[in-house]
Amino acid sequence: QRVNVTVRSGLPMVLSGSAEPCAQLVVSSIGVVGTAEQNKQHSARFFDVLTSQLGLGTQRIVIRFYPLEPWQIGKNRTVMTFL
């Protein structure tokens, strides 16, 4: 329901020993990225978007998933636990 996106283009990056164009996607979420099965489904969708929009091969993209707990995210002067 809530998605924040930060794009940092033009950063020097090396992936698998190559400085060819590549992308790294970091996904953090409360209750959405907690299992391998969930992340497998998310990964497929993200790869579809990234390969089509960026013109990169799948070997030039890496995705990191970080599950978060509600107390780890601050919002509206509190944490998500209390919202």
2 confidence band (pLDDT: 50, 70, 90): low
Summarize pLDDT for 67-79 with one digit per residue, the tens. Answer: 999 999 999 999 9
Summarize pLDDT for 20-60 with one digit per residue, the tens. Answer: 999 999 999 998 898 999 999 999 999 999 999 999 999 99
Q: Is domain 23-82 in CATH 3.30.429.10, yes or no?
A: yes
6 confidence band (pLDDT: 50, 70, 90): confident
Q: Where are any strands of DSSP class E within the chain? A: 23-30, 61-68, 74-75, 78-79
CA distance linking residue 61 with residue 24, whole number of Å: 6
Residue 50 structure tokens: 């990234």
Which pLDDT score, from 0 to 100, does residue 34 have? 86
CA distance linking residue 41 with residue 27, whole number of Å: 13
User: Which amino acid, one-letter code, is at 63?
Assistant: I
Using alpha carbons, select from 66, 69, 82 the residue that is nearest to residue 27: 66
7 confidence band (pLDDT: 50, 70, 90): confident
CA distance linking residue 44 with residue 46, whole number of Å: 6
